[in-house]
Amino acid sequence: MKKNTKIYIAGHRGMVGSAIWRKLEAEGYINLIGKTSSELDLRNQQAVNEFYSKEMPEVVVDAAARVGGILANNDYPYQFLMENLQIQNNLIDGAHKNNIEKFIFLGSSCIYPKLAPQPLKEEYLLTASLEPTNQWYAIAKIAGVKTCEAIRKQFGKDFVSLMPTNLYGSHDNFDLKTSHVLPAMIRKFHEAKIREEDTSHSEPVELWGSGNPMREFLFVDDLADAVFFALENKLPEYLYNIGTGMDLTIKELAETIQKITGHTGEIIWDSSKPDGTPRKLMDVSKMKNAGWEATTSLEEGIKKTYQWFLGNSEKYKEVKM
């Protein structure tokens, strides 16, 4: 690609989209397009088609989606299925009809079967049943993967799907009711540390489950780097896992975050709360063989995320600095 290639990043304000935007800017790309949801409703097919006709981007990165945790997926199954289908169908079909040759579709490791062998390989897609709690989101994302594969197969266009593992980083969600495990831990340990400093007493932190499940985490800037690699190169296959290929226990994660935040109190594990899937690890050999691998260590990524949190804590009323 040339530095003035016109690139549209859908979802450019989110954690993933903003990281991709920063990466492309840092690499010298000067013709990036982003639209907020109030400027362009991606669920509206006519609006998306008019946007494509007017702006005529040469490349599209789809980092837009309706996302949420288990509770949100369970309470709003129709919205999670339908809105994600609408968003991606409008973006993919509009790109195809406007003769866009390069499209990057971003999904999630939840597309793979609940009980698939570990580590998760790309060929496990559609081989067994999904995790029931987030199947609505997963089905939409699988449809997106298959739509891009169909366009690639029938029309020879460079439409590729990247499936990241659990992401974290700057612009993450630190709301304790809706956030994922890593940012929630950062906030919990930070707030306990502040209370320790205020009272001069040890402040325990209570966490869900046994701490035994194993999870893989990818720093969002590494995902942005993978997207950049996919933009700069023509990947030979339609689907690639994006991760570190390494996991750790939730207990080890908690201890790492505790050390980085400076909290010194006890960690209490509430084993009456659910653990979830015992292990969820991605096989990332296909992307590694293509020429890309993650470079940010978990400790380095958490330190950077914690620094971002400290600089943006006014969004979270309970946090005292």
Answer yes or no: is 291 a known binding residue.
Answer: no
Mark whether 137 is an active-site residue. Answer: yes
Is 118 within a domain?
A: yes
Question: What's 101's domain CATH number?
Answer: 3.40.50.720
Answer yes or no: is 173 a known binding residue.
Answer: no
**Which pLDDT score, from 0 to 100, does residue 319 have?**
43
Residue-range definition of the domain harbouring residue 232: 7-169+216-245+281-295
Closest CA to 99 of 19, 30, 156: 156
**Which pLDDT score, from 0 to 100, does residue 70 have?**
67
First to last CA, the chain: 44
Is 175 within a domain?
A: no
Is 119 within a domain?
A: yes
Answer yes or no: is 167 a known binding residue.
Answer: yes
**Which pLDDT score, from 0 to 100, does residue 21 have?**
98
Residue 39: is it exposed, middle or buried by C-beta count within 10 angstroms (0-12/13-18/19+)?
exposed
User: Catalytic pick from 137, 168, 240, 306?
Assistant: 137
Is 221 within a domain?
A: yes
- Contact (CB, 8 A) for 244 and 218: yes
Closest CA to 65 of 133, 164, 169, 177: 164
**Which pLDDT score, from 0 to 100, does residue 177 have?**
80
Answer yes or no: is 264 a known binding residue.
Answer: no
Helix (H, G, I), strand (E, B) or coil at 175: coil
Is 147 within a domain?
A: yes
Is 121 within a domain?
A: yes
Answer yes or no: is 67 a known binding residue.
Answer: no
DSSP letters spanning 59-78: EEEE-------HHHHHH-HH
Amino acid letter at 143?
A
Answer yes or no: is 129 a known binding residue.
Answer: no
Is 235 within a domain?
A: yes
**Which pLDDT score, from 0 to 100, does residue 321 have?**
35
Closest CA to 165 of 212, 250, 222: 222
Mean pLDDT for each 10-residue chunk of the chain (321 residues)? 95 96 97 96 97 97 85 84 97 97 96 94 97 91 98 98 97 86 95 90 92 96 98 97 97 98 95 84 97 98 97 64 35
**Which pLDDT score, from 0 to 100, does residue 316 have?**
59
Closest CA to 293 of 255, 238, 241, 247: 241
- Contact (CB, 8 A) for 242 and 218: yes
Answer yes or no: is 190 a known binding residue.
Answer: no
Helix (H, G, I), strand (E, B) or coil at 282: strand
- Contact (CB, 8 A) for 288 and 122: no
**Which pLDDT score, from 0 to 100, does residue 113 have?**
94
Answer yes or no: is 15 a known binding residue.
Answer: yes
Answer yes or no: is 208 a known binding residue.
Answer: yes
* Number of compact structural domains in the chain: 1
Is 188 within a domain?
A: no
